[in-house]
Structure 1
């Protein structure tokens, strides 16, 4: 009887270990592998974001120490390289920055001085484009546009 319990216990532990190994070996690509702070820098705090369909988000961040805004477009599920972009523009100063290409996880950073100014920003993943105009302007209401091309 002891032998049977030992064999059954060993079989249970072996099955549990095999299941755990299979679970741990599954790809971690179900979640984004970066954050806006990893893309833009540790001093940046997320102040706004916009969904790019179900494919990811565009994040607007701000660094109070240097007055700069930064934008990053981050996929929900990293994987095969896709067309992506991120952009940022300050209409008052006519300053802007952008990044575009074929990426597996994120596009960016795009950074510009924006302290005290309204900013326009956005990005795309594949054929879904998001633009936010007049953002972070205190009393003014921003305008969001999503288009599929």
Structure 2
């Protein structure tokens, strides 16, 4: 299911009205033996990340050879399955990709062509959600939101 900007904004606003906004903290360490490169592919380099509370980290990666971004949400402590997601959206082109499900270690990969474009991305682990808008696009200041439901 592709996400469009209005769906992302509406989802974020609805979740914010139900939950608590918290400040971003340093990314948590990744699940043992799982890295964004293992999830997305060896040509992908981490260009940004956002902590999902203390539960894990959402990683934004980029592959310079094909111009694609990839997002993966990786748990700090894998174990029993939990609701998890990873998503990415390019507002300029209205292209996006997402992965929602129940996972023991990570969600994703999700891919989109992002060369020369701002990207919005995020994910969740259980009831903690992260959304980053206007990311990696020069002079625009990115907006980060973490909330719980």
Tell me whether the two structures share a fold, i.e. TM-score over 0.5.
yes
State the distance in 1 between where 2:54 and 2:90 align. 27
1:131 Cα deviation from its structure 2 partner: 0.1
Q: Distance in 2 between matches of 1:42 and 1:120?
A: 22
**In the alignment, what sits opposite 1:86?**
86
Deviates more, 1:129-138 or 1:32-41: 32-41
Contact map agreement 1:133 1:142 (CA 8 A) in 2:
yes
The alpha-carbon deviation at position 117 of structure 1 amounts to 0.0
Relative CO higher for 1 or 2, CA cutoff 8 Å, sep ≥ 6?
A: 2
Deviates more, 1:31-40 or 1:52-61: 31-40
Q: CA RMSD in A?
A: 1.1
Task: Normalising by structure 1, report the TM-score.
Answer: 0.79
- Number of equivalenced pairs: 120
Q: Which residue of 2 aligns with 1:47?
A: 47
2:116 aligned residue = 116
Secondary structure at the counterpart of residue 141 of structure 1: coil
Do the aligned partners of residues 42 and 128 (structure 1) sit closer, same or farther apart at CA in structure 2, a change above 3 Å counting? same
Q: 2:38 is paired with a residue of what secondary structure?
A: helix
| 1:140 shift after superposition | 1.0
TM-score, normalised by the number of residues in structure 2: 0.79
When Rg is computed on C-alpha atoms for both structures, the one with the higher figure is 1
